Structure 1
Amino acid sequence: MDAWDRDVWQELNAQDKEKWMRELVRQLPEGMTYEGLQTFERFGQRTQTGVFIQEGQRFVFVPGSQVTLGWSQWQDGMDEKTSTDLHEAASNYGVQDVGMFLASQMSPVREVHISPMLVECETTSLGWIEVTEEEAYAQEHEDFPEALVAFKQSGLNEYELHLQFRLIRDNGGKVQILWFNEGIEIEDVIKEEKEAGFDLLTEDEWEYIYGGGCRTLFPWGDSFDYTLRLKHFGSLHHAENAERMSIDTGIDIDSDSNTDRDTDTDRTSSMLTGVNRHGYELELPNFFGVQFAGDPYNYELTLGPDGEVMPKGGDGGNLICEGTGPLLGYLPAASVFYRDVNVSELDWEELMDTLYYRRIIRLTNVGAE
């Protein structure tokens, strides 16, 4: 019996889980501590698992499993509203076979063994680093001083000068300053994390952590959940008006933040965006305790079999910008198996702007009973 296998782990009592987690600490990077067991439940899946902390960052134990990943056909089928929305949206692209169209956007079906691992609960921006006000002034950027003063006096939640700096106001009114981390290469990130005892997710691992081995299009089923609160649509009963305004004006309206977002995919000008503080469901911890961006404008970094970059969880906002509405607009962020087939057209600097990553520790040599 392998206690690290998900099926076995789920059957262990809390006392046995505690024992395994405390033994695991001895094999982890220096400074990582065990905080205790916590139970997470979402989308019909439930996991009681260990929570670990290192330098203020939370990690959770994710048991391994033999799973089928990828998507080629419906398991349960769409409900009437999802089917109607999907067929109407697909018809605008001249798509006749909706199932075949969706399959072409998804990773292929495959059998995969996922090793047990510790997974960082939140992601870190690859392209943006937080700096102090003094460090920002030291950059001697000609636009920064005036922008900072104007931002502090404004009621805005966020301001960005494209690929230069970003200003964010938190709930308490404090201003966070982010500077674009130009010049960084993915090989440097992998090497630095490896030296610290961490790895980065593969696409297989990401799909497992996000969907938990589900065979449906979304982690909760094959039909879209129209009760969701979504960052760029707010509550979906407002989605029809938001979609119409997006089509008419070219501006995506976040009904909760009351701010405008530039939806030009070139994103060459400054942007004013609303910072999410509204508990959008796609951003809440899932059944493993892992949080995802839930925002199609952003990507999460994963690596392919040969170490190539394979961004997941978004499409740069392309479908939203085309006025497709919440179903297709959020397909890249909500679907377990979506692949952005157009991401190769972006240069590295453009990708870095919206790319996030999380660290993991693969537990390939831990004990078995």
Structure 2
Amino acid sequence: MNLVDQLDWSYWKRLSDKEKRTLFSQVLMYFVNPLVRITDIELKEFELYGIKCQTFELLLDDEEFVFIPGNKDAILGWNLGTKGLSLLETAPNSPRVDIPENLQNSYDLLDVHSLADYINDNTSSLRKVKIPPMFVQRYALPAGTSFLGVYNAITGSFTGQADQFSAFEADIHEILCPNLSPSESIRWSFPKSVLKENHWYIEMMPKSDCYYIYTHESHTYTSLRKKVRKKNFDLLTEDQWEYANGAGSRRLFRWGNDLNIYDPYRGKKIRNLMTGRNMFGLFFDTSMDRFELTEDPGVLKLTTQHLHTGLPIVDKLALSTYYTPDRTLLHEEILKPSEYLYRKAIIVKI
């Protein structure tokens, strides 16, 4: 049995911790560029909705990655329509149902059979694929950026790569702590994000007074992909992205099919499942404000479109593991960090 075959999940999960460590050291030796700095390797167990995976998390050049074992027989895609969904997901959750005209012309979303067609038409086709083992970046980054650290807008403290941050600390401090008159200060609020092209990009952390700090370079899809491929990195293909998101589970969403986030008893738990780590220890954006790039510029994941129809499954379908947005990216389009995310990976293949 060759090295890659031993990294298939069916074999990997039967190994002892010691055997996993021995095998993983070989993977690092043969598949990670020797110019990449490897630190903080730790064997961890992750779980989501009954799917468990014991694997390694590590830092590659100070960026967080997780190793995902391969799967020779992964089932991806969706053709089950509303199967597995309850009335809480498929029926209106408000007195008013507001369906956009373009959808009204194609579907009767209040009819369960037409709704099933809508779901199937907007998700990838059912298929069996071979997923290689891979190192996947834990967080997707805004397009054209590299992560530096976290800045507290209240205290002015910074945690991260301080030497690089010092070059534009004064600019950021001036934007986040402007000199305002008393009347101006009443109306002022912290910006959600600020971009200084080809210098830096900042983005507010959810429910926090802190900002993620990034360096920034303007990129098209072509130039970003070229940069990513340095040091043996890639973007994920559609198959790899869907597997990394939901592990091939036969559910529309990685956390299950529950979308009732406003339930007074279970809503908080559902939101935590949606926004937390998945069964591989990865995080996926749930803001529905950005697309995530894949290895194919014609295939994007997630969405920038907010729907408020009153039908939970329609409004949240873009968070599905298998959702396929009707959007094609032009090779030479400048990628705005506020509209696109990218996630680096190392694909283990012979």
Pick the TM interval, shorter chain: 0.7 to 0.9
Instruction: Provide the residue aligned with 2:153 in structure 1.
Output: none
User: Residue 102 of structure 1 aligns to which amino acid in structure 2?
Assistant: I
Within a 5 Å distance, the mapping from 1:338-349 to structure 2 comes to 338-342=323-327, 348-349=333-334
Q: Over residues 239-298 of structure 1, what are the superposed CA-to-partner deviations in whole Å (9 max), with x where a residue is unaligned? A: x9xxxxxxxxxxxxxxx9xxxxxxxxxxxxxxxxxxxxxx84322111111111122112
Do the aligned partners of residues 150 and 79 (structure 1) sit closer, same or farther apart at CA in structure 2, a change above 3 Å counting? farther
Do the aligned partners of residues 168 and 286 (structure 1) sit closer, same or farther apart at CA in structure 2, a change above 3 Å counting? closer
The CA distance in 1 between the partners of 2:189 and 2:141, in whole Å, is 23
Tell me how far 1:317 sits from its aligned partner: 3.0
Do the aligned partners of residues 157 and 40 (structure 1) sit closer, same or farther apart at CA in structure 2, a change above 3 Å counting? farther
The CA distance in 1 between the partners of 2:215 and 2:309, in whole Å, is 31
The CA distance in 1 between the partners of 2:335 and 2:228, in whole Å, is 23
CA contact (8 A) 1:157 1:169 kept: no
Q: Secondary structure at the match of 1:207?
A: helix
2:250 to 212, 215, 230: 215
CA contact (8 A) 2:143 2:335 kept: no
User: Residue 259 of structure 2 aligns to which amino acid in structure 1?
Assistant: D
The CA distance in 2 between the partners of 1:72 and 1:90, in whole Å, is 26
Instruction: Provide the residue aligned with 1:11 in structure 2.
Output: 14
Within a 5 Å distance, the mapping from 1:1-369 to structure 2 comes to 1=1, 2-27=5-30, 28-30=32-34, 31-33=37-39, 35-65=41-71, 66-74=73-81, 76-85=83-92, 93-94=103-104, 95-96=107-108, 97-127=114-144, 132=165, 134-135=167-168, 149=178, 156-160=189-193, 166=202, 168=204, 181=217, 183-221=218-256, 223-226=257-260, 228=261, 235-237=262-264, 280-304=272-296, 308-312=297-301, 314-319=302-307, 322-324=308-310, 326-333=312-319, 335-342=320-327, 348-349=333-334, 352-365=337-350
CA contact (8 A) 1:117 1:361 kept: yes
| Larger RCO, structures 1/2 (Cα 8 Å, 6+ apart) | 2
Tell me how far 1:82 sits from its aligned partner: 1.9
How many residues align? The count is 307
The alignment's TM-score, normalised by the length of structure 2, stands at 0.73
User: Residue 237 of structure 2 aligns to which amino acid in structure 1?
Assistant: T
Tell me how far 1:185 sits from its aligned partner: 1.4
The CA RMSD over aligned residues, in Å, is 3.9
Tell me how far 1:356 sits from its aligned partner: 0.9
Instruction: Provide the residue aligned with 1:276 in structure 2.
Output: none
Q: Secondary structure at the match of 1:52?
A: strand
The CA distance in 1 between the partners of 2:7 and 2:69, in whole Å, is 5
Tell me how far 1:64 sits from its aligned partner: 1.0
Instruction: Provide the residue aligned with 2:157 in structure 1.
Output: none
CA contact (8 A) 1:298 1:354 kept: yes
Q: Report % sequence identity.
A: 21
CA contact (8 A) 1:198 1:359 kept: yes
Tell me how far 1:178 sits from its aligned partner: 6.0
The CA distance in 2 between the partners of 1:75 and 1:13, in whole Å, is 40
The CA distance in 1 between the partners of 2:145 and 2:255, in whole Å, is 32
The alignment's TM-score, normalised by the length of structure 1, stands at 0.70
Do the aligned partners of residues 50 and 285 (structure 1) sit closer, same or farther apart at CA in structure 2, a change above 3 Å counting? same
Tell me how far 1:174 sits from its aligned partner: 5.8
The CA distance in 2 between the partners of 1:89 and 1:10, in whole Å, is 47
Gaps of 5+ in 2: 109-113, 149-163
Instruction: Provide the residue aligned with 1:274 in structure 2.
Output: none
The CA distance in 2 between the partners of 1:176 and 1:194, in whole Å, is 24
The CA distance in 1 between the partners of 2:328 and 2:336, in whole Å, is 8
